[in-house]
Each structure stands twice: as structure tokens, then as C-alpha cells.
Structure 1
Amino acid sequence: MYSLILHGRRLVQSQKCLSLSVSVQNAFVLSNSFSSARAADVSIRDGRKGKNFTVSYLVDSLGLSKKLAESISRKVSFEDKVNPDSVLSLFRSYGFTDSQISTIITDYPLLLVADAKKALGRKLQILQSRGASSSEITEIVSTVPRILGKKSITVYYDAVKDIIVADTSSSYELPQGSQGNKIRNVSALRELGMPSRLLLPLLVSKSQPVCGKENFDASLKKVVEMGFDPTTTKFVLALRMLYQMSEKTIEEKVVVFRSLGFTVDDVWEIFKKTPSVLKVSKKKILKSAETFLDLGYSRAEFLMMVKRYPPCIEYSVESVKKKNEFLVKKMKWPRNALVLHPQVFGYSMEKRIIPRCNILEALLSKGLLRKGSELPAVSSVLSCTDEGFLDRYVMKHNELVPTLMAIFTKGSVS
């Protein structure tokens, strides 16, 4: 196991991952209330103002580099320092050092917009009431900042404490059974560089794979040898898939893919991109191939789509047919454009495809697209963010912004 850990460490990227998935409403998010170019411009300026302020605050208050601050500002932003200052003051009152606070915020920036007293203060008080010392609180929260985002904080705290004690005490004896296996296995994952955001769910899990032993070692060895990055969710998914599936079941799935024209190497490359592909049933895999072939795609094109974007094999027949009908027959994009960007079959018709295509039709009708009547690339229309799309196709037409925004927010096919 130790040689495996050392091998895995060499596979970890040197730059720390900022991977908090924070759902923060950007000021550029659009609603049906937009009715003028002025409103749209104000929203853009406010969004950028918030990001600029956030970057400056993180650099000045926490000493972060501008590059790191800019990365965090894409996850969370604010326009004044009242709440962030309250959060930092709370941490300092509990004995956290500036270095620890910087580590916490870098890993879990959402804390800067949390309620310092009602949310964070209450949880820290709960830990104190359980007898946790100041040094224990600062060490554990610094090690696993996301513990403050959990409702069952005491359960997570106890689990994290066990792991830390096992790591730091040479005389610590692992408990018997699944709990001992869990501590052993999670410690191994931490040594590989797995971040707390991925470890937390495993710490309190009663399910596979972290409660096993021999099978865990074998599965972990395979995942590391395949080159999965321990700082990503793909690593966890791959570990779970290999742990849960027998060699016989895996081989049966490989046979199904080979019957469609994939090579064994193709199958494992697909697995590396999307580990969950192994759980897709034989029936669904074959049905997906049949659907695309019936729509006029060649077998080679189907293989290319799956290799480029494996999740497309899981899309429902109805969804694929509906989007193909709209994009190919109504919008007149050639099929090979979708072959190169199969992820479009997973986009929402109502929230993304139709609103954006309505804008294109409006521009085409006025001869305002750069290539005249030719449609732009699928990726430039459908694969970008709302902000990127509107910057590219709406905001540059100053006098038409109100009209185009009305079309965009209408959300129906013209």
C-alpha cells in the first residue's frame, strides 16, 4: 500500500485544485424582467464590479495571489466587506491563524458569504459543547473546511478526528471491522492527495468502497495505475465502479462495446473519461447505437461521438430524436457538426438550445451574422456560458439589445 501511495503522489498535479462547486447567482443571470439595454448593461457592470471587489478583498485581507483570488471570484463574489469581515473575525476569535484562515477560504470560499453568527458561529459552538479544544477545532476545520457546510457536523467531526488521530499517533490502534477499514482506507486516499471535498462523504458512508479491505486495495491499485487524478471526482467514481463490479461483469460490458466496433483500448479510454459508463446496461448501450444509426449517423460517427463524449450513450431515445430534429432539420446544422460536439444532445431544449437558436434566427433574418446566412459553429453557440453567448451575439448590436433580449427570454420557438 505504501509503494502505491508513493506512486500515486507522483500522479497528482502540483497545483492545488480549487473545486468548490458553489451555486452563486451571477449578476449577469438573465430574467424575464429585462426589457432594455440599460438594464442589461447595469447587470454586466454590477457583475464585474462584484468580481473586481472580491479579488481586491482576497488579496488585501488574506494575502492571496491575484491569480488565486481571480479563480475564487469565479466561484463566489460580493460587493462589500461587511459579511466577509464578520467571517474572518469569527475565525480569529476561535484562535485560527491567518495562514489557517487563508487555507480554509481557498478550499471553501462559500464561507465568506455565510452568516457568521447564525451559521458558522453556531456550528463552532456545537463542537465546543462536545468538548473539543480550541486546538482540535482549528486543526480539524483547517484540515477539512467543508465540515462547516454540513448539517450533521458532529458526525463528520468525530470521523475526521479519528482519521487525524490515526495519522498523528504512532500508538493508535485501528478499531476492528468496517470502521477500522474506513480509517485505514481514507488515510490512504488522503496520502494520495485526495481533497476534503471528496473525502467527507466517504468518512460517514456506511457503503462501499471505503469499508472494504482486500477488494479496496485491488481496486485502488487499478485506478492509480490507470492514471486517474486523486483530486478529481473521476477518481472516486472509478474506484467505486471497479470496487462494486466483478471481473465477470466488467468483461461482459467490454464484450457489448466490442460488438459495436469499439476496441478494448477504446473501452478503457471511455472509462477514463466517464467511469460511470460501465454501469450502463447492455440494453441501453445497444439502444443508443440503434437510435443514432436510425437518425442517419454512420457507425463510425456513433463510435466517434461516444469516444468524444461518453455520457451521450446514456441519453434517452426521445431526447436524442427531439434535439436532432430541431438542430439538424429546423436549424440546418449538418450532422457532422453534432458528431464533433455530441454534448449538445445533453443540453436543455427550453433553457439553452431554443433561446439561443431564436437569437440566431433573428440575426440571420437581418443579415447580421458575420458569415451572412451561414450558421456559426455549434460550439460557439451552444457550448459557451450565457454571458459568453450574449457578449458574442447580443450586446454587440447596441440598438437591438432590447429586442434581442426579449427574444432570448421568451423561451419559445418562433
Structure 2
Amino acid sequence: MLRLRSSILTHIISSSVAFPSNSSLHRLLFATAAPSNSPNPSFAVEDYLVDTCGLTRAQALKASAKLSHLKSPSKPDAVRAFLGGFGISSADVATLISKDPQLLCAKVDKTLASNFTELTALGLSRPDIVRLLSFAPLHFRCRSIVSKVQYYLALFGSSENLFLALKNGSYILGRNLERVAINVSFLRECGLCDRDIAKLGIQVNRILTTNPECVQAMVACAEGLGAPRGSGMFRLVLQAAAFLSEKKIAAKVDYLKKTFRWSDAEVNIAIPRSPFMLTRSKESLRHKSDFLFSEVGLEPAEIASFPAMVNYSLDGRVRPRYYVVKFLKKNGLLDRDWKFSTIVKVTEKVFVEKFICPHKEAAPHLAQDYAAACRGEVAARLIFA
């Protein structure tokens, strides 16, 4: 493990790039350079945040507690001028300050300007950098943000994927990069390719930053649910079961067995095929079970063979499609006996093309009734036809 950590750190350090200077940044820096931070007896932080920065009084009151050491507006003025020079509006600057008041205390020359320069060298555009700042103003005050962004860009494959991951948790920019690299290395050993690791990291980025021992436990849990390492469903089961305790998973498995009348063999078939059932509420599962058994008339084995139907929206997809096909069948408009799993799994476009469009003359109201049913407004003629 020590050798692994040492090699990972060596790789991270050796792969860092030399960043060129940016003359426009230096001009902006000199133009916004502030005088020394000499005490100003009349300076009141809370009033400054309201009158100059545009925060509400409530926001300013909360933020001023973290800026009580400020005795002059010189540093905050320099930060605001620097950010404004990059086209960040006053309203957006106010939002950034409300998120992280200490951004006003950042060193413009040694931190902000350097971060902007080096992130540009990584290939981020100015809008990208501004967007990054809006996601993580707290971490933007640290020089380490550059090496972390460099690592995550390589891991996720693009800046857009990086922003998707940040949307699900910007804290990844504040976590230990060595731990992330160890977890990534372990996931590769489990048979996940970099693309799968990127998808996993975007959806559940905590799995990259948590203790390696926790990741190992998650992998063991996924294997226990019927998804061995290297299997096609391993990533999805791992994603669904991540951060669910063994106790919660066992309770949900028992509930699935009782609700859908599954045997041990059937539940072991269903979960690897549709692992996100583990994340559904008991109420949602019960409603779908009632509908599939009572109205559709399916058998437990039929649901287990195509458990994805349990994840589809009952009111927005499953129920409306069932009513349409039931109507067509009762009126002799179907050319064959369709399996219910096929009816619910086809895309919306295919469903409309196969089950709505061919019957415009025989059932001119069908398209309108189907659209209404998808909104939760089921016409009586569709249900009782």
C-alpha cells in the first residue's frame, strides 16, 4: 500500500505541467492592485457587504462573522475589481461572496491570478473558469485547485463531465487527491474501465473521495447482490448500493421479496438487472406492485425477468401505456399479442409510432387521451373501453 501511494504521488507530481504566463492577467492584476491594508476606523464590514457588494442585510450579517478581522476595504476592493475584470457581474460576485465570504480575503496576485492563468493553460475557457468559480469559490482560494482540476479532467474526460460531477458535489475539489487515486486504482482492479469509473464518479462522486476501506466494502456488497467484478451490471449495482448500509440493503431486499412475491432465486435475478430498485421508496414499490398484479395481471416471474418496469414512472409511463394497449386490444385494433415488458420498455417515439399513429382513423381521440393520461388525467373511455 505504501509503495502504491508513493508511486501515485510521484505520478501526480511528475505529470504536472509548466504553465505559461498570461500577459492580460498581469495587466489586469496591476490595474486592480490595491493599496496596503491600513486600518480604516470608519470601515464597517456589514455595511460594506450591503452597500458595496450588494448582499442583503441578512446575508451580510451572516457573512460578516467570517470577516471580522478586516479593517479596510482595500483587499475586498482588489478582489472585486479582479473578478469584475473577467466579466463576472456584480450580482454574480455578490452570490459568490454570500457562498464564501472569505473569497474577499484571497490574495489576488498569488492565488486568484495564478489560478486563472494555470487553469487556462489546462484548456479551460474563461467561461469555464468562471463556472468553476461559481461551483467552488471556497476551493478557488487554494492553489491546490489547479492540480485537482488537472487530475479530474483526465479522469472524467472533459470539462463538461467535470462540471456534471461538481454539480453532484463540489467537495471533491477539497478532498485528498492521493485517496482519490487509490480508489480509482482499486476500481480498475475490479474490472472497471476509465469510462465506467468516470460515469460512477459523476453520479456518485463520494465513492472517489471516501475511505478506501469503504469502497472495498461497497464492492463486496455489490458482489453479494449478484454482480461479480467484471460483469456488465457491476458498475450499476455498485452505483445503486453505494453508501447504503448492509442493514438497509437487507431490509429492502426482504421488502422486494414480499412486495413482488419473489423467491430468493427471482430476487437474485431482478436486482442485478435493475439495481436502482434498492433506492426506490417502499410506497412507490407498493403502488407499482399493486398495479402490476391487480390490473395488469402479471406473475412474479414475469416482473423478475424484466424488473426495469419497477423503475419506470407508474403514472407517466406504465399506466398510460397499459390503458392504450388495453383499449386497442378490446377494440380489435392490435395485430398481435404484445408482451407487457415490450410495451413499457420501448421509447416514447416508438410507442407512439406503433400504438398511436396507425389508429388515427379508427380511434381519433387516442392520441389526445394518451397525452392526458401521461399527465395523470385518464379519460373514462380509455379505462373502461
TM-score range with shorter-chain normalisation?
0.5 to 0.7
What SS is found at the alignment partner of 1:343? helix
Flag the 1:212–1:351 CA change in 2: closer, same or farther, 3 A: same
Which residue matches 1:305? 270
Matched, 1:220 2:184: yes
Counterpart of 1:360 in structure 2 is 325
State the 1:215 CA deviation: 1.0
| 1:392 to partner: Cα distance | 0.9
In 1, distance between residues paired with 2:298 and 2:359? Answer: 24
**1:99-137 CA-partner distances (Å, limit 9, x unpaired):** xxxxxxxxxxxxxxxxxxxxxxxxxxx9998334xxxx9
In the alignment, what sits opposite 2:144?
181
1:199 equivalent among 119, 141, 162:
162
1:128-143 aligned within 5 A: 130-132=84-86
Matched, 1:164 2:119: yes
Q: Look up the equivalent residue of 2:229 and give its one-letter code.
A: D
Summarize deviations over 1:256-290 as a string: whole Å, max 9, x none: 666x6647538995345552422123333112211
How has the CA–CA distance of structure 1 residues 159 and 207 changed in structure 2, closer, same or farther, with 3 Å as cutoff? Answer: farther
Count of aligned residue pairs for this structure pair: 267
Q: 2:37 aligns to what?
A: none
Where in structure 2 are the equivalents of 1:6-405 lying within 5 Å? 130-132=84-86, 161-165=116-120, 167=122, 179-192=142-155, 194-200=157-163, 207-208=171-172, 211-225=175-189, 226-229=192-195, 232-237=198-203, 239-247=205-213, 249-250=214-215, 252-253=217-218, 262=226, 265=229, 269-271=233-235, 274-294=238-258, 295-371=260-336, 374=337, 376-405=338-367
Question: Hey, what's the Cα distance between the residues in 2 that align with 1:352 and 1:275?
Answer: 24
Paired residues of 1:293 and 1:302 also in contact (CA < 8 A):
yes
Q: How many Å separate the matches in 2 of 1:351 and 1:263?
A: 30
Q: TM-score, normalised by structure 2?
A: 0.56
Greater Rg, structure 1 or structure 2? 2
Deviations 1:45-73 (A, max 9, x none): xxxxxxxxxxxxxxxxxxxxxxxxxxxxx
Greater RCO between the two (CA within 8 Å, min separation 6)? 1
Contact kept in structure 2, 1:305 and 1:339, CA below 8 Å: yes
Please list the CA deviations of residues 184-209 of structure 1 after superposition, one character each: whole Å capped at 9, or x if unmatched: 12102223462112223667976135
Q: Which runs of 5+ in 2 are unaligned?
A: 1-7, 13-79, 97-111, 124-138
Q: Is the 8 A contact 1:285 1:314 kept in 2?
A: no
The answer to whether the 8 A contact 2:204-2:239 is kept is yes
Q: Which one-letter code corresponds to 1:164 in the other structure?
A: L
Instruction: Provide the rounded CA distance (Å) in 2 between the counterparts of 1:332 and 1:160.
Output: 62
Q: Give the gaps of 5 or more residues in structure 1.
A: 6-125, 138-146, 169-175
Contact 1:219 1:242 survives alignment (8 Å): yes
Asked if the contact 1:208–1:240 (Cα under 8 Å) also holds between the matched residues in 2, the reply is: yes
Q: Which amino acid aligns with 2:193?
A: G
C-alpha deviation, 1:339, in angstroms? 2.0
Question: Whole-Å Cα distance in 1 between the matches of residues 358 and 317 of structure 2?
Answer: 20
Q: The residue matched to 1:333 in structure 2 has which SS?
A: coil
Task: Assess if the C-alpha contact under 8 Å between 1:356 and 1:381 holds in 2.
Answer: yes
Return the TM-score normalized by structure 1.
0.53
**Is the Cα–Cα contact under 8 Å of residues 288 and 314 in structure 2 kept in the other structure?**
yes
- Alpha-carbon distance change, 276 to 208 in structure 1, aligned in 2, over 3 angstroms: farther
User: Counterparts of 1:369 and 1:159 in 2: how far apart (Å)?
Assistant: 67
SS at match of 1:207: helix
- Is the alpha carbon distance of 1:387 and 1:179 closer, same or farther for their aligned partners in structure 2, counting shifts above 3 Å? same
